[in-house]
């Protein structure tokens, strides 16, 4: 059974990661250093949210058991 919240949170993490990579690879590196740092914080927060949810998500636990 798929959990919508898991899907939402991992989608959010994925897009934060994309934004972080884009900020880091920006041509305007002197401008983007601070931006990349902010994106990194956003990404870590999204990762934390996902982990927090997975810790209490029955659907995720079940999927992990099934492999």
Among 26, 47, 57, 63, binds Zn ion (CB under 5 A): 57
What residues numbered 17-36 form the site for Zn ion, per CB under 5 A? none
Segment contacting Zn ion (CB under 5 A): 16-24, 26-34, 42-50, 59-67?
59-67
Which CB, 38 or 49, lies closer to Zn ion?
Answer: 49
> Does 6 contact Zn ion by CB under 5 A?
yes
Count how many residues are written for the chain: 67
Interior angle at CA 31, CA 40 and CA 46, nearest 5: 15
Closest CA to 6 of 46, 41, 57: 57
Q: Which residues bind Zn ion (CB under 5 A)?
A: 3, 5-6, 57, 59-60
């Amino acid at each position: 059974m798929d959990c919508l919240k898991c899907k939402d949170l991992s989608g959010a993490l994925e897009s934060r990661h994309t934004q972080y990579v884009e900020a880091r690879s920006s041509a305007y590196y002197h401008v983007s250093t601070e931006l990349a740092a902010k994106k990194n914080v956003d990404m870590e927060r999204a990762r934390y949210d996902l982990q927090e949810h997975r810790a209490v998500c029955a659907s995720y636990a079940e999927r992990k058991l099934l492999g």
